[in-house]
Every structure is written in structure tokens, then in C-alpha cells.
């Protein structure tokens, strides 16, 4: 029964995707999606605090002085500039966000940004709060939010694939739950390599599951490339590529981004029998590779 529903879903996906070829439908759909916003769980300060701790810890560990003085780029922040704000609180020199869709209202001080600063200041060691901000963030988070928010550059709509931000202009580039939505991840990785300074560091949490139904995380591997393309290519938040962990690892390394961390953040068992039902592209892959459903990669751009 479940299978039938999922098969119906792919038909619905194809129909929606086809309708999105019509500009007025695409515009209405985009406006509707933006009104809907992102997951409500992401409206709680715990979400950007957690995303920040993860990436700041990994990026900072590859640099002599953590985030201090770094020019940081976040790809696809979604509904909040909070993670970028915390990067500045940790001593970054600048924080830029680019997103294919303008989910966030832009860089503005609101209750959320003030609460984020206050929460980080309560536990400065865990949030890498720079010494010069520790006292003031605790005593007057509103004043600190006012000072830091105006230093955030928010550019949307702007895609990582086509951005013309200058070569070698960032020390740190990160994204969280974004790469699986890129129609062309190879170009995105080439762009990251272009934008990073030599020695710069990049971290990406990538969710490799079929997002239509997390209880069937590998269902999407059954379809041919054509069917998947027809079902997803115009859906702004669809899983637009189905790259597996090994494909990501190879693409980062090919662009001169040496992977110092390849963390398998989620795995499941895949049997040879299950693999037989996948599209032929996936049938040549190892069961271990196919069973990786989430990765966190950290790469360092090789010095020339
Ligand atoms: C699932 S959301 C994740 C948002 C946020 N990072 C989080 O953890 O909640 C994926 C984000 O990637 C953005 N995105 C998708 N394709 C993009 C592209 N080519 N360039 C920049 N951002 C993109 C989407 O607009 C969206 O904000």
C-alpha cells in the first residue's frame, strides 16, 4: 500500500514540476512557499545555535585562531541570519549569506537575534564568543545585536552556482542541509573552490535521504535520472540531485579541497536485494556507500 502512495507521489511531483514551467504558476508557487516559511522547529533559537556550534567547531579547528578575523560565507541560510550573526560574535571579520530564495527578511535586529546573542553569552565557551564581546553580550545583548547585525551582508535571491562574488574572498564557507537541493552540485563545489582563499576551510552537512518520506530514505534511488529530473528540477526545495557520499567526496577532492573530515552522520543497512531495485547508476555502488544517508564534510583548499 505504501509503495502505491509513493508511486502516486512521483506522479504528483512530475505534474507539479511540469506546471512550474509556466511562469505565472512558478511565481505563485514561489510566493506560497515563501509564505509557508521553513520548518517551525527552525524558528526556535536552539536551531541556529546548534548549526553554529557544529560548523564553528569544525571550521575553527582548522585555523590557528578559530574564527577570529575570518571572512565567512554561508550558503543557503534559509529563514534566519542567526548562524551568521553568531559567527561575528565569535570574532569573524565579516559574514555574508547568499540564498537562492529570500526566506529571511534580510539583516535586521529583532527579538530572535537579541535572544540568540543573550543565549550564546550565557555559555560563551561553548559558543566560541570572542573575549571582546563576552561582557557586553551578557550585559546588553540588544546593543551587541545592533552593532553586529548591520555587518551581515544578505544577498537573495542569489545562487551559489552563479554568484559573481570575487575569487579568493573567503576564509570559511559553510552550508547546512543545502547541497541536496542543488541541481548542479559539481558547479557549486567548483564555485566554493573559487571563492575560498588558499588554506581556507569549508564545511557542509548534507542530507542524502529522499525528503518526500523520511521513513523511506532511499526510495528516490529507484527512479531513472529522467524521471527524477522531471519530478524535481523546478521544485525550489526538492532534492534535486541524488549524489551519494562517494560522489561528493570525489568532487570536493577534484576541486583541490582536501577533505580533512568525512563524517557519516547517518547510516542504514542496504542489502544486495534492495540494491537490485535501484536505478542502474546506483547498482554499481557499494552497499556501504548506498547506506550513508547523511554526511558532514570539512575540506581545506590546498595552498598553490
Ligand atoms: C532546507 S533549506 C536549509 C536552510 C538552513 N540552512 C537550515 O539549516 O535550515 C535549503 C536552503 O538552500 C537554499 N538553496 C537552494 N539552492 C540554492 C542555491 N543554488 N544557492 C544558494 N542557496 C540555495 C534554499 O533556498 C534554502 O534556503
pLDDT in tens, the chain (304 residues): 333 333 458 888 888 888 888 989 888 887 887 777 767 777 799 999 999 999 999 999 999 999 999 999 999 999 899 999 999 999 999 999 999 999 888 778 899 999 999 999 999 999 999 999 999 999 999 999 999 999 999 999 999 999 999 999 999 999 999 999 999 999 999 999 999 999 999 999 999 999 988 999 999 999 999 999 999 888 877 888 999 999 999 999 999 999 999 999 999 999 999 999 999 999 999 999 999 999 999 999 998 7
CA nearest ligand 1 atom 18, residue: 159
- Residue located via cell numbers 570575487: 166
Residue from 99, 173, 183 whose mutation best tests the ligand 1 pocket (most atoms within 8 A of CB)? 99
Q: Is the CB of 134 under 6 A from ligand 1?
A: no
pLDDT on residue 5: 39
Residue from 78, 165, 183, 191 whose mutation best tests the ligand 1 pocket (most atoms within 8 A of CB)? 78
CA nearest ligand 1 atom 4, residue: 78
Q: What ranges do the domains of the chain cover?
A: 37-208+243-301
Mean pLDDT of the chain: 93
Distance from the alpha carbon of residue 68 to the mean position of ligand 1, in angstroms: 26
Q: Is the CB of 99 under 6 A from ligand 1?
A: yes
CA nearest ligand 1 atom 19, residue: 159
pLDDT on residue 36: 76
Give the atom of ligand 1 at the shortest distance from the alpha carbon of 163.
20
- Phi/psi at 268 (nearest 5 deg)? -150, 165
Q: Which of 180, 171, 197, 151 is nearest to 244 (CA)?
A: 180
Distance CA 57, CA 294 (A): 19
Q: Is the CB of 265 under 6 A from ligand 1?
A: no
Give the atom of ligand 1 at the shortest distance from the alpha carbon of 188.
19
Q: Which residues contact 15 (CB under 8 A, 6 or more apart)?
A: none
Q: Is the CB of 78 under 6 A from ligand 1?
A: yes
pLDDT on residue 3: 38
pLDDT on residue 29: 83
Q: Which pairs with CB-CB distance under 8 Å and at least 24 residues apart come from 44-47?
A: 45/82, 45/112, 45/115, 45/116, 45/119, 47/80
Q: Is the CB of 101 under 6 A from ligand 1?
A: yes
Distance CA 236, CA 25 (A): 13
Q: Is the CB of 75 under 6 A from ligand 1?
A: yes
Distance CA 281, CA 11 (A): 22
Distance from the alpha carbon of residue 131 to the mean position of ligand 1, in angstroms: 31
Q: In what order do the strands lie in the sheet with 196-207?
A: 152-155, 94-98, 71-75, 170-176, 196-207, 292-301, 257-267
pLDDT on residue 8: 52
pLDDT on residue 17: 86
Q: Which residues contact 6 (CB under 8 A, 6 or more apart)?
A: 212, 213, 216, 219
Give the atom of ligand 1 at the shortest distance from the alpha carbon of 98.
21
Give the atom of ligand 1 at the shortest distance from the alpha carbon of 78.
27
- Domain 37-208+243-301 has what CATH class? alpha beta
Q: Is the CB of 116 under 6 A from ligand 1?
A: no
Amino acid at each position: 500500500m505504501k509503495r502505491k502512495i509513493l508511486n502516486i507521489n512521483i506522479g504528483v511531483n512530475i505534474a507539479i514540476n511540469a506546471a512550474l514551467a509556466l511562469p505565472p504558476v512558478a511565481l505563485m508557487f514561489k510566493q506560497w512557499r515563501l509564505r509557508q516559511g521553513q520548518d517551525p522547529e527552525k524558528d526556535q533559537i536552539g536551531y541556529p545555535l546548534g548549526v553554529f556550534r557544529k560548523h564553528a567547531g569544525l571550521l575553527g579547528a582548522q585555523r590557528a585562531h578559530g574564527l577570529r578575523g575570518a571572512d565567512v560565507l554561508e550558503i543557503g541560510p534559509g529563514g534566519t541570519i542567526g548562524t551568521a550573526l553568531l559567527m561575528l560574535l565569535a570574532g569573524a571579520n565579516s559574514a555574508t549569506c547568499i540564498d537562492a530564495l529570500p526566506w529571511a527578511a534580510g539583516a535586521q535586529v529583532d527579538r530572535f537575534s537579541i535572544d540568540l546573542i543573550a543565549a550564546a553569552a550565557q555559555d560563551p565557551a561553548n559558543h566560541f564568543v570572542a573575549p571582546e564581546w563576552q561582557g557586553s553580550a551578557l550585559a546588553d545583548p540588544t546593543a551587541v545585536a545592533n552593532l553586529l547585525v548591520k555587518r551581515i551582508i544578505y544577498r537573495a535571491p542569489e545562487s551559489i552556482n552563479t554568484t559573481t562574488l570575487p575569487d579568493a574572498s573567503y576564509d570559511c564557507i559553510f552550508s547546512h542541509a543545502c547541497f541536496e537541493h542543488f541541481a548542479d552540485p559539481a558547479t557549486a563545489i567548483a564555485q566554493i573552490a573559487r571563492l575560498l582563499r588558499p588554506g581556507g576551510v569549508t564545511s557542509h552537512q548534507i542530507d542524502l535521504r529522499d525528503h518526500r518520506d523520511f521513513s523511506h530514505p532511499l526510495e528516490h534511488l529507484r527512479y531513472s535520472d529522467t524521471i527524477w529530473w522531471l519530478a524535481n528540477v523546478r521544485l525550489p526545495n526538492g532534492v534535486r540531485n541524488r549524489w551519494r557520499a562517494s560522489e561528493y567526496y570525489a568532487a570536493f577532492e577534484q576541486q583541490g579541497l582536501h577533505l580533512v573530515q568525512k563524517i557519516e552522520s547517518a547510516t542504514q543497512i542496504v542489502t544486495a536485494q534492495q540494491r537490485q531495485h535501484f536505478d542502474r547508476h546506483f547498482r554499481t555502488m557499494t552497499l556501504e556507500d548506498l547506506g550513508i544517508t547523511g554526511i558532514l564534510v570539512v575540506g581545506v583548499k590546498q595552498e598553490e
